[in-house]
């Protein structure tokens, strides 16, 4: 896992299992940090945003839709 400047992305991962998070993730509320981290970790087992991906996210974070929505509405204030 590495902390980097990722432009307009909160995080990324690759098939080797490397996780990268934008340094601004640390400024987010804890629930949003959890959402971003879980989202990226699920990509390690399911690279696509298909139904299996979202089912896995929902298993860990049942309110993922609210968190995703919050991030879409409020993430810009964290200057991405």
pLDDT attached to residue 26:
95
User: Where residue 13 sits, what CATH number does that domain have?
Assistant: 3.30.2010.10
In the chain, the number of structural domains is 1
Residue 19, both tokens: 């996780």
Residue-wise pLDDT for 29-61, tens only, equals 999 999 999 999 999 999 999 999 999 999 999
- The pLDDT value given to residue 61: 98
- Alpha-carbon span 7 to 53, nearest angstrom: 24
| pLDDT beyond 90 at 21 | yes
| pLDDT band for position 80 (cuts 50, 70, 90) | low
**Domain interval for residue 44:** 2-78
Mean pLDDT value across the chain = 94
* Cα dihedral value 27, 77, 74, 76, nearest 10: -110
Q: Is the pTM of this model over 0.85?
A: yes
């Amino acid at each position: 896992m590495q902390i980097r400047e990722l432009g307009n992305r909160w995080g990324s991962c690759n098939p080797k299992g490397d996780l990268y998070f934008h340094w601004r993730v640390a400024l987010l509320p804890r629930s949003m940090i959890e959402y971003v981290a879980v989202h990226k970790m699920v990509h390690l087992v399911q690279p696509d945003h298909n139904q299996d991906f979202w089912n896995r996210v929902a298993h860990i974070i049942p309110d993922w839709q609210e968190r995703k929505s919050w991030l879409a509405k409020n993430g810009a204030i964290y200057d991405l």
